[in-house]
Amino acid sequence: MTRLLTAFGLVVGLVFAMQPVMASVDAEEFWLRESIPGQPNGAGFGKLVNHGNEDKVLIGASIAIAEDVEIHRHVREGEQMRMEAMDALIIPAGSEVTLQPGGYHLMLMSLTSPLKVGDVHDLVLIFSDGDVIELKVPVKALVSGSHRGHGGH
């Protein structure tokens, strides 16, 4: 048994030696926006930090309170901003991407109940290489002031 454990330790040591920088991505400061009365969908924001040396590709997410989660971005059309669904969001190696109001966001499609301030939801982020990140995500109030009146996303 001791010999087996030693062999295992050797293999683990070798793997780490061969990959001094593990490909990994951190999800930081994720939050969900309080529901707007009458709006069927919700929105989630946060920061994805890629510490690895390979690009990471977010391809989806899931949350129990919504039927589906889409990755959206805002695109400018003249004076108007509109939302557009994306198949994937690339987090370049050694870089970070911020999801924020008016930019990239997770769109929580068809909420089964409103998002209320103080609630915490389990959110799963899914990447193209099979990695998943499970998060506890709080609901926060709408912050007025920095709003530009483009549909509230």
Using CB under 5 A, list all residues that contact Cu ion: 72, 83, 107, 153
- The residue (of 107 and 115) whose beta carbon lies closer to Cu ion is 107
Residue 36: CB minimum distance to Cu ion, A: 12
CB of 85 to Cu ion, least distance (A): 8
Structure tokens, 16: 């780490």
Least distance in Å: CB of 72 to Cu ion? 3
In this complex, which beta carbon is closest to Cu ion, that of residue 86 or of residue 133? 86
Residue 1 per-residue DSSP state: -
Taking CB atoms, the residue at the shortest distance from Cu ion is 72
Q: Which H or E element spans position 8?
A: helix 2-18
Rounded to a whole number of angstroms, the minimum distance from the CB of residue 121 to Cu ion is 17
What burial class does residue 105 get, using C-beta atoms within 10 Å of its C-beta: 0-12 exposed, 13-18 middle, 19+ buried? buried
Task: Say which residue the tokens 């926006």 belong to.
Answer: 33
Percent of the chain as helix, strand, coil, to the nearest 5 = 10, 50, 40
Choice between 22 and 142, CB closer to Cu ion = 142
Nearest to 123 by CA among 35, 17, 29: 29
Pick the closer one to Cu ion by CB: 7 or 142: 142
Q: Give the residue with the Cβ less far from Cu ion, 27 or 83.
A: 83
Q: State phi, psi for 150 to the nearest 5 degrees.
A: -120, 55
We find the least distance from the C-beta atom of residue 49 to Cu ion, in angstroms, to be: 22
